[in-house]
Amino acid sequence: MENYITKKRFDELNKEIKHLREIDLPEVARAKLAAAEEGDLKENTGYHAAKERMAILTTKLAELEGMTAGPRFIEDLNVKADVVTIGTTVRVKDLKTSKESSYIILGPADSDPDKNVISFQTPIARGLIRKKPGDTCSIPTPRGTLSFKILSIQKYTPA
């Protein structure tokens, strides 16, 4: 599957990866070594805490590296605003409440549902993709079916 991501988020994740590799992991490794030098490892809470922290950080590092592997930068996509796709902002009207809202459709690493930035993999985005202004759609979600009318589409531009 393609790894769609904005350049800004890619840079943020790489800074976090660098910090984990150069600061956090070596610090925990030193703490683990210092605790191990204290003797009996069976009841050494400092050693076990450092070992657990190391496992958590290693897992987080692998996850972040996966999010930055083989990026397809959204800013480089040839996005046209005539149809909803990844890299667009779509303004919709809820047909049940008449409330208008906008969704920015990006990749999973950029997702921020509190700001209506959604991954193209979410049910809402999947229901909106390939729709044009004026189209209506019903989208089944875990919280019930949403019914929207597409009001407008714009190419996503980073803030």
Same-domain check for residues 44 and 90? no
Same-domain check for residues 82 and 131? yes
Same-domain check for residues 135 and 68? no
Q: What is the pTM of this model?
A: 0.84
Same-domain check for residues 93 and 64? no
pLDDT the model gives residue 34 = 85
Same-domain check for residues 86 and 149? yes
Domain membership of residue 46 as a residue range:
3-73
The domain boundary residue, chosen from 44, 73, 102: 73
Query: At 154, which helix (H) or strand (E)?
Result: strand 144-155
For helices 45-68 and 25-36, give the axis angle rounded to 10 degrees: 160
pLDDT the model gives residue 35 = 82
**Tens place of pLDDT per residue across the chain (159 aa):** 789 999 999 999 999 999 999 999 999 999 888 888 777 667 778 888 888 999 999 999 999 999 999 999 999 999 988 999 999 999 999 999 999 999 999 999 999 999 999 999 999 999 999 999 999 999 999 889 999 999 999 999 887
CB 69 within 8 A of CB 121: no
Per-residue tokens: 128 = 């909106």
Same-domain check for residues 55 and 123? no
pLDDT the model gives residue 41 = 67
The domain boundary residue, chosen from 73, 97, 120: 73
